[in-house]
Structure 1
Amino acid sequence: MEKNRMFAAVQTQSDKKLNWLYAFLLPAIVQFVLFIGFIIAGFLMDVLLAFLPTDAVQMLFYILDPVFLQLLAFAVPFALILVWVRFVEKRPIAGLGLYNKGAFKEFAQGLGVGTLLISAVVLVQWMTGGIELEETYFTGLNVLNFLIIFPFWFIQSATEELATRGWLFPSVARKTSLPIGLAVSSLLFSLLHLGNNAISLISLLNIALFGLFACLYVLKTDNIWGVSAVHAAWNCFQGTVFGVNVSGISVSYSLMRFTPTSAPTYLSGSEFGSEGSIIASIILAIGCACLVWRLYPRRAS
């Protein structure tokens, strides 16, 4: 862990009890910062929509999927996390994994990995009869929506990754141990989705598995850009490309529309989306195994 920049950036106390105390409290602090951020974001959204002309709002929603408002709201908690780390913990923001060197390369690779993972899940679901292709919508307007809305998916995904993998994971792992850091980050990420529509035991397991995959990906890349891109591609392609619900959240505009069949929920994912299927469990477990295999020689050396 000493060779990892994100881990090395975490300040530790000489008193081990204080380290464990902060590690124990940090998940609650993360949730508090996110909660305050969303309250502020909701207020700002209401003010913005109140001042925009009605015609402008209607035109905006005609071009862009209304879900972008939910995604844009994540920008406020993103900023609050940076403020907390810089002025409360008094450590460099770059230590959250926001390193400039190699950022574009990591971002591009992350997009590829995320697209591959969710495409594999949807493909296997379709092949096993869990979902069916209802229709395709490759119109100029939907392509434009895809191009414009991806940055909003990235804002949402980057905020969740910054909170759970950039901030929480290295801090807890550094102050306690790597296994505890992996467990706390993955479990909190799953618990943050408890209020989502159509949540189930399988979907909670899959979100935790994605959290574990993301932690391992951060260990491998030592930055937050790559895993944020993985997360953004996973969500964007799941919703805006394949038209599947994203963690229970539906999209209005997509390039395709896959819908659940009468197959068992563990295959279709039902209203939660592909993340609610056992297919996602298998794909994510394979992804975790591949990362562990890639990391083992590095840690053994």
Structure 2
Amino acid sequence: MDKSQGWKNVLKIIIPYLIIVSVFELIGVYASGQNFYQNLPQTTLQTCVVSFSSMSGTLLTIWLFCKYIDGRHLIDLGFYDGYISRDVVYGLLMGLIIMIGGSALLLSVRQLSYEGINFNAADLCYSVLLYTFVAFTEELLLRGYVLNNFLDSFNKYIALALSAVIFSLMHGANPHIGVLPFVNLFLAGILLGMSYIFTRKLWFPMALHFSWNFCQGVLCGFHVSGQDIYSLTIMKRAHDTIWNGGKFGFEGSVTCIIFQLVAIAIVYKIYSSKTGEQPVAADTILQEAA
């Protein structure tokens, strides 16, 4: 196999992906009744519709490339069976622990203060769907397709770093982006991709990605990657600081860097010392860490 084919496939998909997904998102904007002359989107439901459209365009693009360019099946990107329920449970738990732990720490040092509950059943349901769509879309694209192809061309850690750089750059147009957010997004790409280079499965990173965003935005009241979407819990920042992340959210904080470095170190230590860096089930990470 030509080792250069992997990174070439990543380059080939860029323009078709941008075109197809942009068309799908435009359809989503119209379908949700949004006004182009106002800030987009305006409601949680509208955000959910656009995210579903983006997911649909991503799925179509990657399916076409798998079938006609890569010569592989979509399932080969990481939808293998085995350990699915445990991978999902442990991914959800890891995101929950990081966000609850980070919030508790910031509350204890008065970087945040609890203001109350903003319960809206419809928005809560839409948020579950929204973050499911986002997790599926970004993990299928960044880990399932990009990292998978990079692994065909490069050493696994170089491939991981390159995919993490792309992951962070994809958020470059988000509101309130800055140096700390870029660092945290890069580390998030490492954390999510670390499990993939050993398992070649998407269940754990998808679950972790969903849990990370949902717990960050809905349960803990942070902005999510700079975007202010529905929150069940109302939290108030004393001031915008490097510790609480300011308007970008938890991902814009030094606190998040610390939590992610610890999580990455645990994942690496377990896989390199216990498995000889051979593919294993993702749930082994948390079983060994517990």
Identity %: 20
Once the two structures are superposed, the pairs formed by residues 87-236 of structure 1 within 5 Å of their partners are 87-137=68-118, 139=119, 142-236=120-214
Residue in 2 that maps onto 1:277:
253
What SS does structure 2 have at the residue aligned with 1:195?
coil
Residue in 1 that maps onto 2:276:
299
What is the root-mean-square deviation of aligned Cα atoms in Å? Answer: 2.3
Query: C-alpha distance in 2, partners of 1:95/1:30?
Result: 17
Residue in 1 that maps onto 2:48:
68
| Structure 1 position 65, deviation (Å) | 4.6
| Structure 1 position 45, deviation (Å) | 1.6
Query: C-alpha distance in 1, partners of 2:19/2:108?
Result: 43
Query: C-alpha distance in 2, partners of 1:118/1:143?
Result: 22
Are residue 44 (structure 1) and residue 27 (structure 2) matched? Answer: yes
Residue in 2 that maps onto 1:257:
234
| Structure 1 position 70, deviation (Å) | 3.8
Query: C-alpha distance in 1, partners of 2:90/2:73?
Result: 25
Residues 145, 47 of structure 1: alpha-carbon distance in 2 compared, 3 angstrom cutoff: closer
| Structure 1 position 221, deviation (Å) | 3.6
> Runs of 4 or more off by more than 6 Å in structure 1?
none
Residues 287, 150 of structure 1: alpha-carbon distance in 2 compared, 3 angstrom cutoff: same
| Structure 1 position 92, deviation (Å) | 1.3
Tell me the TM-score normalised to structure 1 length: 0.81
8 A Cα contact 2:25 2:50, kept in partner: no
Deviation by residue 1:28-79 (Cα, 9 ceiling, x = unmatched): 44543442233112232244246x9xxxxxxxx88x5543234223212133
Tell me the TM-score normalised to structure 2 length: 0.84
| Structure 1 position 222, deviation (Å) | 3.1
Amino acid aligned to 2:72? R
Residue in 2 that maps onto 1:3:
none
Query: C-alpha distance in 1, partners of 2:91/2:63?
Result: 22
Deviates more, 1:37-46 or 1:107-116: 37-46
Query: C-alpha distance in 1, partners of 2:18/2:124?
Result: 28
| Unaligned segments of structure 1, at least 5 residues | 1-11, 14-18, 53-60
Amino acid aligned to 1:295? Y
What SS does structure 1 have at the residue aligned with 2:218?
helix
Query: C-alpha distance in 2, partners of 1:89/1:226?
Result: 24
Equivalent pairs counted in the alignment come to 269
Residues 233, 222 of structure 1: alpha-carbon distance in 2 compared, 3 angstrom cutoff: same
Residues 30, 261 of structure 1: alpha-carbon distance in 2 compared, 3 angstrom cutoff: farther
